[in-house]
Amino acid sequence: MTRTRQWRQVAPKAWWRAPFIVGYSLAIPVVAVLGASMGAIQFAWSTATVVAIAYFHYRARTIGIYTSDDGVRLRGLVKSRELGWADVAEFFHRPSRYVGFEPVHGSLWVVLEDGEELKTPVKMQPEGEPPGNTTAILAELNGEARQAHARIAAAAKPG
């Protein structure tokens, strides 16, 4: 029997989701009504547009960091990446830097066991010390990583 992964969303509980959700929700019926009133080809194009909007609406709603007993899922707008707990060293917060720009917000980052750093799709508060719930989210993620590493080490011991 195959075990089903139970993913838990750790971050974010983001303020920015509401405007996107309202915008997409209003756009879908408007595009469908306008497309239906314009003819078959326009209706096909508007239907394709509605499907694309619905897809990105779903992806926007599910952006975040998810954990399970097996690992971490970093879910972005376009793609997702899954990492096993054995590959994850720690999580931390720092400002995101873009070439030619000042840091505008911070991101949660994952450090892999090989030293590679991955920026997650989760944007947090402006630069400086992790404010508010960022500290709690980091504590939860790093706690889960420590527990998973302990489980992996216990499973590797003979006997």
pLDDT digits (tens, 9 = 90+) for 30-69: 766 776 677 777 777 777 877 787 788 778 778 888 898 8
Question: Domain 64-156 adopts which CATH fold?
Answer: PH-domain like (2.30.29)
Q: What are the boundaries of each domain within the chain? A: 14-61, 64-156
Of 14-23, 112-121, 145-154, the one with minimum mean pLDDT is 14-23
Q: Give pLDDT, residue 86.
A: 94
Its pTM surpasses 0.75: no
Q: Give pLDDT, residue 63.
A: 82
| Rg of the chain in Å (alpha carbons) | 20
Looking at the predicted structure, is the pLDDT value of residue 2 above 90? no
Looking at the predicted structure, is the pLDDT value of residue 5 above 60? no
Per-residue pLDDT tens digits for 82-97: 999 999 999 988 877 6
Looking at the predicted structure, is the pLDDT value of residue 73 above 70? yes
Of 66-70, 96-100, 127-131, the one with minimum mean pLDDT is 127-131
